[in-house]
């Protein structure tokens, strides 16, 4: 049996924290130093311990990580963007290679679980899904991955997609997706009937991409909340992005927030840089679970991202105007416990009996870590040191000036 005790750490609140692990699980988490007899003792010397991160929305099949840098190609319309994406993915390195590179990077930053949206429609069939499944199996010991069958090309406007979505679910996908039922598909009731029909038939969850603005997006959210209630799917439906929530007035927002909370519909936002997005605090106050994810990472949609969920929490806080310690911890919760609850990750968090996985930072508390998003960290998985982000190493001789001395 492997018995380790981690002493001298601080928790999210900056107070003393000690942890004991045995065979990869926590046997103690608390403020008092535990018994160390027979244990390997690791002194964390005042460093911060946080639970592993959970990425609530990522696209492993799209990223160009593991391939060459590809300059972003502007596109005038969504359909143009989809066409460009298909061309670039066809010319890129194998999907398994690129997905493997992104998963490795996410794990190095401390991610322990993710919800991955995979393109599954009549234009791609199950090719993306099979590639991501192969990499998921290789990383199974380090990453819990919940898969979403995502109809990127639409459902009603891409004939045959409904059958492919159902085939994906039969292969083990846990979540059925949708996308912009009105503005992309032109048939809100039709798309939602397909998506909710598959979920009811197979017992899957639902996660719908919703970029629709203003009143269009608001009407869609009311439809989704009503269907969720009618189908008895409370707590099993998410809406990703929900941009329209950032476009409406407070009175309308409070009405839809109550409807979403009553239906148990959760909202994912990654705080995109170029438009309004859901008001996180007001939704949470109404009882709506709000979580986050990286979304696209260095792909055809945008060139940004590195897979670091602490950096994503920082961006959430930055774009939301979160300045207090309390609000900075909200951003962290969205990247940890809230996202874990949405994907149903069991044994998660710093608690006795749970999987002994956590991340160590040189920071005084969680708020400071979110505000600075330090890159340096150590990742502990199943009670053992796994690693962390690679450090850039340079030969000191390269830093010598012409006189032979090191510049200051």
End-to-end CA distance of the chain: 50
The pLDDT assigned to 78 comes to 84
Q: Are residues 314 and 192 in the same domain?
A: yes
405 domain-assigned: no
Give me the CATH number covering residue 21: 2.30.40.10
Which residues are CB-neighbours of 153 under 8 A, at least 6 positions away?
82, 119, 121, 122, 123, 124, 161
109 and 26 fall within a common domain: no
Total domains, the chain? 2
DSSP reduced 3-state for 80: helix
CA distance 267 to 99: 25
The residue from 312, 340, 368 where one domain ends is 340
Same domain, 28 and 57: no
Kindly compute the dihedral angle of the four CA atoms of residues 189, 195, 198, 201, in this order, to the nearest 10 degrees. -60
* Structural domain contains residue 407: no
Residue of 58, 36, 192, 43 whose CA lies nearest to 113: 58
- State pLDDT tens for residues 113-165: 999 999 999 989 999 999 999 999 999 999 999 999 999 999 999 999 999 99
Is residue 204 within 8 A of residue 169, CB to CB? The reply is yes
- Taken as a whole, the chain contains a residue count of 408
Residue 173 lies in a domain: yes
**Are 226 and 188 within one domain?**
yes
Helices (H) and strands (E) in the chain, counts: 12, 16
**Residues 6+ positions from 136 with CB-CB distance below 8 Å:** 116, 143, 145, 147
Contact (Cβ atoms closer than 8 angstroms) between residue 159 and residue 145? no
Query: How many Cβ atoms are within 10 Å of 230's Cβ, its own excluded?
Result: 11
Same domain, 156 and 301: yes
- C-alpha span between 177 and 239 (Å, rounded): 9
Q: What DSSP assignment string belongs to 33-65?
A: PPP-TTSEEEE-TT-EEEEPEEEEEE-TTT--T
Asked if residue 369 and residue 259 are part of one domain, the reply reads: no
* ∠ Cα 18 19 22 (to 5°): 155
297 and 360 housed in the same domain: no
Q: What is the mean pLDDT of each run of 10 residues along the chain (408 residues)?
A: 91 98 96 90 97 98 95 91 92 96 97 98 94 96 97 95 98 97 97 98 98 98 98 98 97 98 98 95 98 97 96 98 98 98 96 97 98 96 92 69 49
Asked if residue 41 lies in contact with residue 55, where contact means CB atoms within 8 angstroms, the answer is no
Residue 271 resides in a domain: yes
In a domain, 408, yes or no: no
Examine the domain organization and report whether 119 and 232 are in the same domain: yes
Could you tell me if 78 and 145 lie in one domain?
A: yes
Q: Which residues, listed in sequence order, are joined to residue 237 by a DSSP beta bridge?
A: 206, 265
Residues 155 and 58 in one domain: yes
Whether residues 265 and 152 share a domain: the answer is yes
The pLDDT score that the predictor gives to residue 402 is 53
Q: Give the Cα separation of 161 and 226 in Å (integer).
A: 24
CATH number at residue 307: 3.20.20.140
The range of the structural domain enclosing residue 286 comes to 53-340
Q: What is the pLDDT of residue 408?
A: 47
Q: What is the pLDDT of residue 390?
A: 78
Contact 300, 62 (CB under 8 A): yes
309 falls within a domain: yes
- Asked if residue 404 belongs to a domain, the reply is no
**pLDDT tens for residues 45-100?**
999 999 999 999 999 999 999 999 999 999 998 889 989 999 999 999 999 999 99
| Pair 17, 99 in one domain | no
Reported pTM: 0.95
CA angle 316–319–323, rounded 5-degree value: 80
Closest to 131 (Cα-Cα) out of 160, 109, 101, 154: 101
Has residue 244 been placed in a domain? Answer: yes
pLDDT at 401: 60
Query: How many angstroms separate the CA atoms of 286 and 384, rounded?
Result: 40
The two most distant CA atoms of the chain are separated, in Å, by: 78
């Amino acid at each position: 049996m492997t018995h380790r005790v981690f002493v001298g750490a601080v928790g999210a609140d900056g107070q003393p924290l000690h942890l004991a692990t045995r065979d990869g699980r926590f046997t103690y988490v608390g403020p008092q130093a535990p018994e160390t007899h027979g244990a390997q003792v690791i002194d964390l010397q005042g460093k911060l311990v946080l639970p592993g991160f959970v990425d609530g929305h990522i696209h492993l099949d799209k990223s160009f990580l593991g391939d060459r840098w590809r300059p972003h190609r502007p596109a005038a319309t969504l359909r143009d963007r989809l066409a460009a994406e298909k061309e670039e993915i066809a010319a890129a390195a194998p999907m398994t290679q690129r997905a493997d590179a992104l998963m490795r990077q996410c794990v190095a930053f401390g991610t322990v679980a993710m919800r991955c949206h995979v393109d599954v429609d009549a234009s791609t069939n199950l090719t993306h899904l099979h590639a991501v499944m192969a990499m998921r199996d290789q990383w199974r010991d380090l990453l819990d991955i919940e898969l979403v069958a995502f109809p990127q090309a639409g459902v009603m406007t891409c004939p045959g997609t409904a059958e492919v979505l159902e085939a994906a679910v039969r292969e083990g996908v846990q979540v059925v997706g949708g996308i912009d039922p009105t503005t992309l598909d032109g048939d809100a009731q039709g798309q939602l009937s397909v998506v909710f029909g598959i979920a009811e038939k197979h017992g899957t969850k639902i996660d719908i991409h919703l970029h629709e603005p203003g009143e269009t997006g608001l009407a869609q959210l009311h439809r989704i909340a009503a269907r969720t209630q009618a189908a008895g799917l409370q707590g099993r439906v998410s809406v990703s992005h929900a941009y329209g929530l950032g476009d409406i007035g407070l009175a309308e927002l409070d009405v839809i927030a109550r409807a979403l909370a009553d239906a148990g519909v959760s909202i994912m936002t990654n705080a995109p840089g170029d438009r309004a997005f859901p008001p996180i605090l007001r939704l949470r106050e109404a009882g709506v679970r709000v979580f986050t994810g990286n979304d696209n990472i260095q792909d055809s949609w945008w060139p940004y991202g590195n897979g670091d969920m602490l950096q994503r929490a920082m961006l959430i806080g930055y774009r939301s105007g979160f300045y207090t310690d309390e609000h900075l911890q909200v951003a962290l919760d969205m990247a940890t416990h809230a996202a874990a609850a949405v994907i149903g990750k069991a044994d998660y968090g710093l608690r006795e009996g749970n999987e002994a996985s956590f991340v160590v930072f040189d920071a005084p508390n969680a708020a400071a870590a979110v505000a600075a998003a330090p890159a340096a960290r150590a990742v502990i998985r199943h009670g053992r040191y796994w690693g962390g982000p690679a450090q850039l190493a340079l030969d000191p001789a390269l830093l010598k000036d012409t006189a032979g001395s090191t510049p200051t």
